[in-house]
Amino acid sequence: MAKIGFIGLGIMGAPMAVNLIKGGHELFAYTRGDFPKSVKEAGATVCSNGTEVTRQADIIITMVPDTPHVEDALFSEDGVAAGLTAGKIVVDMSSISPVATKGFAERIVKLGCEYLDAPVSGGEVGAKAGSLTIMVGGKQEAFDKVKPLFELMGKNITLVGGYGDGQITKVANQIIVALTIEAVGEALLLASKAGADAGKVREALMGGFANSRILEVHGERMVKRTFDPGFRIELHQKDLNLALTTARQLGVALPNTATAQELFNTCAAHGGAEQDHSAMVRALEIMANYEIGQ
C-alpha cells in the first residue's frame, strides 16, 4: 500500500483518484474548486494545499488543465515542491507543454526527487473504467515504482523515453485525433449533401479500411447531433496550440494541424468552446451552408 498525493480532482482526476483508493492505497488530495463527493466518500484525506498533500505522500500525482496550472501546483508557495523530501516521485498526468515539462523535471530532480510526465488518453469513460492509455516520460526506475498505480488507472502503459517524451506522445495523439475528426466530418458532410443518409454511410464504412474509433464514436455524435462533452473543444485547442508552438520551436510545418485549429477557432467563435470536439463538423457545415441530415 502506497501513500499517494493527488492534486486536481476534475472530470479526469476524480475518477482516477477513486480507482487508486479502490486499489487499496491511502490517498491525500487537494483540488481547487469544490472537493468531489465521490473522492471524499471513497476515503480520501482532504488537504488544504499541495504542500500538505506532499508531506504525507511518497508519490504525488497532478491532474490539472494546462502548463501554468501545473507550474502553480508544483512551485507556488504552498505547492508540491515546498513539501518534497528526497526520494519522493512527482507524476504529472495533465496534458501540457513538452518543453516546459523538461524544465519542471529538472527543478524536481534538483530536490533529490524523481519526475514522470504521464499524460493520458481515453477520456472520462476511460478514467472511470481504469482503462486509460498512459504515455510516460522519465527514468525506468521511477516508472517501475509507479507502474502498479498506473495499472489501476490504465491499460496500455508505455515508457516512451526521457522527460517530456510522454507529453510529446500525447501531442502526437491529439494531432491524429483532430485530423481524423476533420476527415470524418468532411466525409459525412459531403455524403449527406449528396443525398445519402449519413448514418448509413457511417455504418457502411465501419467495416472497411476507413474504420476508426473516431468514425464510430465521433461519427455517431455528428449524425445524432449530440455535442455534449466528452472532450471539450477548448481543451483540444490547448493541445493543438502545444503542437503548433512546439512545431514552431523545432522548425516543423504542420499544415493540417493548423487548419484543424482554425476550425476549432471557428467553433469557439460561434459559442462552441465547451462543446465536444466532434462539433468541429459544425465549422465545416457553416462553410458549406448545410447541416448533416438537413
Q: Where are the alpha helices (DSSP H) in the chain?
A: 13-22, 37-42, 50-56, 67-75, 98-109, 123-129, 140-153, 165-193, 198-205, 213-224, 233-250, 255-269, 281-288
Check if the beta carbon of residue 103 is closer than 8 Å to that of residue 138: no
For the four alpha carbons of 247, 219, 293 and 268, in that order, the dihedral sign comes to: negative
Task: Give min distance, CB of 80 to ligand NAD, in A.
Answer: 9
Helix (H, G, I), strand (E, B) or coil at 46: strand
Q: Are 6 and 27 in contact (CB under 8 A)?
A: yes
Q: Which of 33, 195, 208, 255 binds ligand NAD (CB under 6 A)?
A: 33
The footprint of ligand NAD on this chain (CB under 6 A) covers a number of residues equal to 25
User: CB burial class (10 A; 0-12, 13-18, 19+) of residue 61?
Assistant: buried
Q: Say if residues 119 and 166 touch (Cβ distance below 8 Å).
A: yes
User: Can residue 48 be called a binding residue for ligand NAD (CB under 6 A)?
Assistant: no
The single residue among 4, 6, 13, 59 that binds ligand NAD, judged by CB under 6 A, is: 13
Least distance between ligand NAD and beta carbon 110 (Å):
21
Q: Tell me if 160 sits within 8 A of 166, measured CB to CB.
A: yes
Look up residue 34 and give its amino acid. Answer: D
For ligand NAD, the closer of residues 96 and 187 by Cβ is 96
Catalytic: 238?
A: no
Asked if 291 interacts with ligand NAD (CB under 6 A), we say no
If the CB atoms of residues 123 and 199 are measured against ligand NAD, the closer one turns out to be 123
3-state class (DSSP) for residue 29: strand
Among 6, 104, 163, 231, binds ligand NAD (CB under 6 A): 231
Could you tell me which of 212, 157, 164, 155 has the C-alpha nearest to residue 187? 212
Indicate whether 38 belongs to the interface with ligand NAD (CB under 6 A).
no
Which position among 3, 102, 145, 170 bears the catalytic label? 170
Stretch that binds ligand NAD, among 105-113, 116-124, 196-204, 211-219 (CB under 6 A): 116-124
Per CB under 6 A, does 53 bind ligand NAD? no
- Choose, by CB under 6 A, the member of 26, 58, 72, 203 that binds ligand NAD: 72
Cα–Cα dist 181/129, whole Å: 24
Q: Does 154 bind ligand NAD (CB under 6 A)?
A: no
Scanning 100-108, 115-123, 159-167, 206-214 for contacts with ligand NAD by CB under 6 A, the matching segment is 115-123
Name which position in 20, 120, 146, 280 contacts ligand NAD (CB under 6 A).
120
Cell of 269: 467563435
Report residue 221: phi and psi, to 5°: -60, -40
Judged by CB under 6 A, the stretch of 31-39, 142-150, 154-162, 219-227 that binds ligand NAD is: 31-39
Q: Whose Cβ is closer to ligand NAD: residue 65's or residue 161's? A: 65
Which residues would be at the binding site for ligand NAD (CB under 6 A)? 7-13, 30-33, 63-65, 69, 72-73, 94-95, 120-121, 123-124, 231, 235
- Active site positions, annotated: 170
